[in-house]
Amino acid sequence: MIGFDIIRLAHAEFNVTDLERARDFYVNALGFIETEADSNHIYLRAIEDGNHHCLVLTKADTPSLNHIAYRVGSEEELYKLEAFFQAQNLPMRWVEKDEERGQGRALRIQDPAGFPVEFFFEMEKAERMLQKFNQHTGAKIKRIDHANCLVTDIYCIHKWYMEELGFKCSEYTVVGSAENERLWASWLHRKPSVHDLALVNERGPRLHHIGFWVDDAKTILDACDYLAASGYALHIERSPGRHGTSNAFFVYVRDWDGHRLELYTGDYFTNDPDWEPIKWHLEDPQRATFWGTEPPQTWKKEAMLVQNILTGELVEVKEPVSKKVTK
C-alpha cells in the first residue's frame, strides 16, 4: 500500500455562466468573502480561511465542475504524486504558479472515475475573518468540508482512493441481499472527520455537491431565513434535516447554474486507530435522512457535468457498472 501526504479537500472551481448573478448569490446571499476578482473569475474564501480561496467561480458558456483540489503536506509530495500518476497512465498536467490566482504550482489529473482533481501545496495568504464577527453575514460559512462525487464503478474507485492514495473509510452503504451484498457508496476522509470525498454509485462522472461547514443547526436555519428574505427561497432545494450517514445536520442549496452546495455541520472525529467504518443499507429509510423523510427528485437525479483537464470539454456521462438490485 502506498500513502501520500494529502491533508484535506481545500477548494473547488465552478464554471458559471454569469459572474454578476453568481456574485449576488455567493457573496451577498451566502456571505462568502471576495478575496479578488477579474473579468473572468471571482475568488472566494470562507470565514475561517487564512488562504486566498476555497471556491473559484469562472465564467464559461456551460456550467460544470472545473476541478476539486486537495492540499498536500509539502512541495515534494507533488513530485511523488506525479510519478505515481504517470505510472498509472492518467491524464495529467502541471498548472503553473498563478495560472490559478493565489495558487502555487499544482498537479491536475483526471482521476480513474473521470473527475478533474488537483493537488497543490502553496497558496497565498489572506486575512482570516474568524473574529471579525461584525462582518459575518449570509450563511456564515466557515470552511469547505467535502465533495460528493457520482461514479460509475464505485468498487474500483473506492479501492483506488483507499489502497493507492491512502484515504480512510468512515461509513459506507451496501445494496442487495446479505448473500449478494455490494458496495453502493462510501465516505472517505483525509482530515479527521467523516469525509473529504463521498463516492456514490450513479451515472457519472458528475459532481453532486460540495459541502461547506457551518457552526450548528441554528446557523443552517438562520441561513434559510436569510436566503429566503434575499429572494432566494427557490434556491433551497432540500429542506434542513439530519443525515443518518455522517450524523450531519444539513440543507442543500443551488446556485443560478444548478451547482449544489450543502451547508453541513455536526459530524464527528474519525481518527482513532480502532475506528470501524459504519455500514448502512441503501433501503434503510434513516440512511439519507435520519428522520425518515425522502429527498426531492431533483436532488436524487440532477448533478453537474465535469470538465476534461486537458481539452476543457465536458466529460461524457456513462451508466453505472452496477445497477440497483432491490430485495
Least distance (Å) from Fe ion to the CB of residue 153? 21
Q: Which of 22, 30, 66, 100 binds Fe ion (CB under 5 A)?
A: 100
Give the helix/strand (H/E) hosting 252: strand 249-254
Least distance (Å) from Fe ion to the CB of residue 320? 19
In the chain, the N- to C-terminal Cα span, in Å, equals: 35
**Residue with Cβ nearer Fe ion (11 or 235):** 11
Least distance (Å) from Fe ion to the CB of residue 102? 9
Q: Which of 65, 69, 139, 185 binds Fe ion (CB under 5 A)?
A: 69
Q: How far is 323 from 327, CA to CA, in rounded Å? A: 13
**Which ranges constitute the DSSP H helices of the chain?**
19-23, 75-87, 154-159, 217-229, 285-288, 297-301
Residue 150: left (phi > 0), alpha (psi -120 to 50), or beta?
beta
**Residue with Cβ nearer Fe ion (69 or 165):** 69
Paired sense of beta strands 206-213 and 143-151, if any: antiparallel
Q: Which of 148, 219, 245, 307 binds Fe ion (CB under 5 A)?
A: 148
Binding segment for Fe ion (CB under 5 A), chosen from 175-183, 233-241, 255-263, 278-286, is 255-263
Under the binding rule (CB under 5 A), the answer on residue 51 touching Fe ion is no
- Grid cell digits, residue 179: 448473500
- Grid cell digits, residue 21: 448573478
Least distance (Å) from Fe ion to the CB of residue 119? 9
Instruction: Give the count of beta carbons closer than 10 Å to the beta carbon of residue 240.
Output: 15
Q: How many residues bind Fe ion (CB under 5 A)?
A: 6
Least distance (Å) from Fe ion to the CB of residue 208? 8
Least distance (Å) from Fe ion to the CB of residue 212? 10
**Residue with Cβ nearer Fe ion (104 or 192):** 104
Which residues lie closer than 8 Å to 87 by C-beta, 6 or more apart? Answer: none
Q: Which of 211, 241, 244, 266 binds Fe ion (CB under 5 A)?
A: 211
The residue behind cell 513530485 is 79
**Residue numbers at the binding site for Fe ion (CB under 5 A):** 69, 100, 118, 148, 211, 262
